[in-house]
Structure 1
Amino acid sequence: MKFSVLLPTRNRLDLLSYAIETVRRQDYSDWEIIVSDNASEEDIAGYVRSINDLRIKYYRTEKLVTVTDNWNNALTKSNGDYVIMLGDDDCLMQGYFSTLKKIIEEYNDPELIYTSAFVYAYPGVMPGFPEGYLRSYISSQIFRSAQKPFWLEKSESMALVNHSVNFRICFDYNMQFSLVSRKFIQRLEEYGPFYQSPYPDYYASNAAMLKAENILIVPQPLVTIGISPKSFGFYYFNDLESKGNEFLKNIPDPDMVIRLQQVILPGTDMNTSWLLSMETLRQNFAKDGIVKVNYDRYRLLQICAVYARSLSGKYNAKEDLQNLKRKINLREWIFYGIPLCILTTISVIFVPKRYYAAISRQITRLTGSHPKCSANKKLSMIQGDFNTIIDVFEKAKPVFVSVKKQEVSDVHT
C-alpha cells in the first residue's frame, strides 16, 4: 500500500524541510512526497536534490498560480493508493503510515478517513500566546470522545455538509484531517478537479463528506497543523486578512461573482470565499440533495462582520459600512442593521476603548458560525516545550488504538 503526501509550497523552505523530515522518519517506507513548488525564489529544487531520496519528487510551476491550481498540480503528479494534503508548515506524527495502513486493512479500504490532529502555534504567532502552544482536537464533537475508530453514518455526514452550506462549521475543513483513497478521487473526477473554488479545502472536505460511500473517523491525532509567521492562519488571527489573501493568490470564478453580485456584501473575504466554495459545491452536486446555499445566513455574517470591524477601527471599516448600508434590504436593516447600529453607538459613547475588541468578538459570535459542534470550541492544551514542529513530532505521542475486524459491526451500529 502506497501513500502520497502532497506538499505544495512557495518560499517557505525552512518550514518545508521540517514537513519532509517528519515523513522521512516514519516507520513505513512505501510512500512518496510530491513537492509542488509554486514559482519560489528559494532554491527548493536544490534542497530536494540534496536529500537524494527518489521517493521525494519535485515539480515547479512555470509561473505563480493560485493555491487551488497548485494543489491540483500536486495531486495529478501523485500515484499512491491513499493521499493526504500536507501544508509545508504541518507535519505527520510518528507512526502515521503504519497506523493507518493497519486501520485501512482492518476496515476494508475506506474511501475517506478523517483523523484527529494537533494544532501547533509557533512562538509569537497567536495573540495572547507569546510562547506558542500545542493543542489537540480530540475533544471536538465529531470525534465523540471515542477511543477507537468508528464509522460515520451517511445521515451524519450529510448533516455536516448541510451545516456548511448554512454557514455553520461543525467539522474542521483542513485537508490534513483527511486521508483519501485514490479510487474515491478518481470517482469524483466527473465533477471536475478534486480541489475547487477560492478555498479548496472548504470545497474538497465537504465534497468528500457528501460523496464518500464510507467514512471512517479515527479519533487519534495523527497529524499536526502548524501556524507559523508565514501561515495564512497567522494573517487571519492577527487581523491581516488582506495580506493573507495575497498569500493565497486565489481568484474567484468571475462568472460566479457576477451571478452572485446581488448576494455578496462587504465584510470579510473569508466569508465570501466560503460562500463561493459552497456555491461551487451546490453547482456540482445539486442532484445530491443540496437544495441551495443559505444566502441569508452569509449576509448576516457579513453584516455582523462589518459592524464588528467598524467598532474595532479596522482598515476600510468606514467605507465598508457605507457600502453595506446601501446594499442591505429593509428586513436586514430592521432586524440586524438598526440593533447593531444602536449597540456600536452606545459602545462608542459609554464604553472604554479597551473593551471594543471584546464587544466586536461577541458580535461575531452571535452569528453562530462556530456552534458547539465546531472543532474550534474545545481544544485541549498539551504541556511541553515545543520550539518547532519537529519538537512536536518527537515529543508529542499520540495514542494509537487498533480495532479488529470483528469489532467493526459493533461500532457501526
Structure 2
Amino acid sequence: MANPFFSILLPSRNRLELLKFAVESIVDQDWRDLEIVISDNASEPSYAPYVREITGLSVNYIRSTETLSVTENWNKALDAAQGQYIIMLGDDDALTPGCLRRLAKTIQKFNGPAVLYVMAYHYAYPGVHQWAPQGYLAKVNNSVVFVEASGPYELPRDQARQLGIDGLHFRHNVSFNAQHFIWKREYIRERSRIVPFFQSPYPDYFACFVTFLTAPRIVVVPTPEMIIGISRQSFGFYYSNDKQDEGFQQFHAKENFVNGSAMSGRDVRAALGAPGSQHYRNWLLAALSAKNALGDLDGVEVDLARYLKLQSYEHHKKKRFPRTWTIDEAKALRTQKKALKSRLYRAFFRLVESLDKRTILPIAYMTPRKMANFGLYHPSVVDFQEIENHFNILDAYNWIKRRNN
C-alpha cells in the first residue's frame, strides 16, 4: 500500500507467540488504511510462514540475516515504513479496540500535528511481578500532561521543551515509552533532522527527549489508546526483578553506545564509569546521545551532578557482607531478606487492593524499592481494572472491547 495513513512497526526476535497477539489487535481494528511492518531480527525459526497467513491487511515483512540490537532493529523497521503516521508497537504490546479510528479523527481535528502523545494501559502477564503474581490490567496516568485534561489538546511549545529538558535532568515527568507516541513520518524524516531517529541502548528515551525538544506541535490524548505489555521476555520483566544487567545483555549485547562528541570529556567519562544502576547508565547514554544529536540547541544540557547523586544512592544502598562471614551464612541471610521482601510486596499489593480503585502512587509505578527517588517520577494514578481469567494481552484487549460495547 502506497503511503497508508498509519504504519504500525513490530520489531521482534524469537517472540512469535507474543507478536501474534499484537497483530490480532491490529487485524481487529475498524480502520484499514494502514500497513504493518514486521522486522524479524534473525528469529529462529523465521516468521515468514506466519506472515503469509495474515490476510486482509498490507504487511511489509523484512528479515535480518544476523542478530541486531533492539535499537538497530527499531531503525530498520522505521526505514521500511511508508505511512503518514508511525506507531511503534512492541511485540508484547497491543492496540486498544477502535484506537486507530479515534487517533485518525484527532489528527484530522488538529490539522495534522507532528506528534500525538497518548495515555496507555499496562498489562502484566501472570508471573512477571512478585507483588502481583496473577498479573493485572491497569489504566496508568503517569505523565504531568494528562493531569486534569478532559480531552485532546495541543501542548504549549515551552512546556513541551521543558519536559524534554527534564528528561536530560533525570526527571520522569512524562513516560518515555515509545508506545505513547504517534509520530508524523514527515516530522521524523524532515523536521527532526535526527538520523537515525532511534539511538542509545534506550531508543525510546532518546526519541522522547528529541521529540519534546524539537517537535513543532504535540497533541496530548489523555485516554488510554495503547496497551503496554509486560511479559517475562520483555525488558520490563528484567527491570522490575532487579535483573537489569541481564536484560541489557539480552537486548544490546553487541553494541557500543559510547561515541560522539557529547561522550567525551573528563566529567562525562567519570559519570559513565561511576558504579550504580545499569538502568541509570542507559538513561545517561540516551541523554548524552540526544545532546550529541541536537548539537548546540540552546539550553540543552545533561545534568551530570544529579546523575551521580542517583548512582551514588543506588550503589550505597546495596550493603556488602562482612568478609568474616561464610558463604553459607551470606546465602542464609539473602534467603531471609528475599522472603521478607516477598512478604512486603504481598502486603503492599493487598493494601493497594483495599483502597479505592483509583490509587495515587507517588513513585515509579508500583515499585516499593524506589521510595527514595529524589523526585524522580511524576506521581502516578493507577486504575486497576477488574479483569478475571486472563492469560495474555489479547484477553485484556477483548475485555476492554466487551466493556466498551
Could you state the TM-score of these two structures normalised by the residue count of structure 1? 0.81
Runs of 4+ in 1 over 6 A off after TM superposition: 351-358
How far 1:141 sits from its partner (Å)? 2.8
1:281 has 2:290 as partner: yes
* Match of residue 330 from structure 1: none
CA contact (8 A) 1:167 1:294 kept: yes
Q: Structure 1 residues 293, 114: closer, same or farther in 2, change over 3 A?
A: same
Q: Structure 1 residues 139, 61: closer, same or farther in 2, change over 3 A?
A: closer
Q: Which amino acid aligns with 1:16?
A: L
Structure 2 gaps, min length 5: 324-332, 345-366
Higher relative contact order (CA 8 A, sep 6+): 1
1:269 has 2:269 as partner: no
Partner deviation per Cα, 1:37-95 (whole Å, 9 max, x = no partner): 11111331111112245511211112111111100000010100000100000000111
Q: Structure 1 residues 92, 356: closer, same or farther in 2, change over 3 A?
A: closer
> Which among 168, 175, 192 is matched to residue 165 of structure 1?
168
Partner deviation per Cα, 1:324-373 (whole Å, 9 max, x = no partner): xxxxxxxxxxxxxxxxxxxxxxxx9xx98876898xx87853342533x2
Q: Which amino acid aligns with 1:370?
A: L
* Match of residue 109 from structure 2: 106
How far 1:140 sits from its partner (Å)? 4.0
Q: Could you tell me how far apart the structure 2 residues matched to 1:101 and 1:353 are?
A: 48
Q: Could you tell me how far apart the structure 2 residues matched to 1:362 and 1:15 are?
A: 28
Q: Could you tell me how far apart the structure 2 residues matched to 1:394 and 1:362 are?
A: 31
Q: Structure 1 residues 362, 44: closer, same or farther in 2, change over 3 A?
A: closer
Q: Which amino acid aligns with 2:109?
A: E
**Secondary structure of the corresponding residue to residue 380 of structure 1:** strand
> Which among 303, 313, 319 is matched to residue 294 of structure 1?
303
Partner deviation per Cα, 1:242-281 (whole Å, 9 max, x = no partner): 2211221163333356643222211111111110110111
Q: Could you tell me how far apart the structure 1 residues matched to 2:139 and 2:402 are?
A: 10
Partner deviation per Cα, 1:101-147 (whole Å, 9 max, x = no partner): 11111110010000110000001111110110111123643201322
1:24 has 2:27 as partner: yes
Q: Which amino acid aligns with 2:319?
A: S
Q: What are the residue-to-residue correspondences of 1:14-413 with 2, within 5 Å? A: 14-53=17-56, 55-138=58-141, 140-188=143-191, 190-249=193-252, 251-255=255-259, 259=265, 260-264=268-272, 265-310=274-319, 364-368=370-374, 370-371=376-377, 373-374=378-379, 377-385=380-388, 386-397=390-401
Q: Could you tell me how far apart the structure 2 residues matched to 1:66 and 1:352 are?
A: 35
CA RMSD in angstroms comes to 2.7
**Secondary structure of the corresponding residue to residue 193 of structure 2:** helix
Q: Could you tell me how far apart the structure 1 residues matched to 2:203 and 2:403 are?
A: 30
CA contact (8 A) 2:164 2:208 kept: no
Q: Which amino acid aligns with 2:46?
A: D
Q: Could you tell me how far apart the structure 2 residues matched to 1:118 and 1:307 are?
A: 34
How far 1:192 sits from its partner (Å)? 1.6
Q: Could you tell me how far apart the structure 1 residues matched to 2:58 and 2:79 are?
A: 16
Q: Which amino acid aligns with 2:181?
A: S
3-12 or 361-370, larger mean C-alpha shift: 361-370
Q: Which amino acid aligns with 1:221?
A: P
Q: Could you tell me how far apart the structure 2 residues matched to 1:367 and 1:64 are?
A: 36
Q: Structure 1 residues 307, 24: closer, same or farther in 2, change over 3 A?
A: same
Q: Which amino acid aligns with 2:270?
A: Q
Q: Structure 1 residues 40, 229: closer, same or farther in 2, change over 3 A?
A: same
Q: Which amino acid aligns with 1:118?
A: Y
Partner deviation per Cα, 1:175-203 (whole Å, 9 max, x = no partner): 11100001101124633211111110000
CA contact (8 A) 1:304 1:367 kept: no
Q: Could you tell me how far apart the structure 1 residues matched to 2:137 and 2:119 are?
A: 14
CA contact (8 A) 1:125 1:229 kept: yes
CA contact (8 A) 1:11 1:41 kept: yes
Q: Could you tell me how far apart the structure 1 residues matched to 2:370 and 2:100 are?
A: 39
Identity of aligned pairs, percent? 34
Partner deviation per Cα, 1:353-397 (whole Å, 9 max, x = no partner): 876898xx87853342533x25xx322111112321111111125
* Match of residue 333 from structure 1: none
**Secondary structure of the corresponding residue to residue 60 of structure 2:** strand
Partner deviation per Cα, 1:212-237 (whole Å, 9 max, x = no partner): 11110001101000001111101111
CA contact (8 A) 1:168 1:368 kept: no
Q: Could you tell me how far apart the structure 2 residues matched to 1:261 and 1:138 are?
A: 36
Q: Which amino acid aligns with 2:146?
A: F
CA contact (8 A) 1:252 1:276 kept: no
CA contact (8 A) 1:5 1:32 kept: yes
Could you state the TM-score of these two structures normalised by the residue count of structure 2? 0.83
**Secondary structure of the corresponding residue to residue 381 of structure 2:** coil
Structure 1 gaps, min length 5: 319-347, 401-413
Q: Could you tell me how far apart the structure 1 residues matched to 2:37 and 2:368 are?
A: 42
Q: Could you tell me how far apart the structure 1 residues matched to 2:208 and 2:101 are?
A: 24
